[in-house]
Amino acid sequence: MQSQTSPVPRSVLPVGTIVEVRNRYRGSWSSGFEVADTTERGYWLQRASDRHVLPTPFRPDEIRRAS
């Protein structure tokens, strides 16, 4: 008999939350972004400076709430 485990719940960052993004190449964090939308594919972000939505979604482990 297989045991079923439920996925670990994650907190959803609402649209408009200011976040930092992990640089996929260097691993450092960059500021100046906010959540534009949340979907099953991840978080769609926009630059705070010009409101341009970035072309790819980000996983929850690639962003964090800005301090």
pLDDT per residue rounded down to tens, the chain (67 residues): 444 443 434 568 999 999 999 988 898 999 999 999 999 889 999 999 999 999 999 999 999 999 8
CA atoms within a 13 Å half-sphere pointing along the CA-CB vector of 39: 8
State the pTM of this model.
Answer: 0.78
Nearest partner of 36 among 24, 23, 21, judged by Cα? 21
The H-assigned helical ranges of the chain are none
Q: What is the CATH number of domain 18-65?
A: 2.30.30
In whole angstroms, give the CA distance from residue 37 to residue 51: 12
In whole angstroms, give the CA distance from residue 20 to residue 12: 15
What is residue 67's predicted lDDT score, i.e. its pLDDT? 86
Per-domain residue ranges of the chain: 18-65
What is residue 5's predicted lDDT score, i.e. its pLDDT? 41
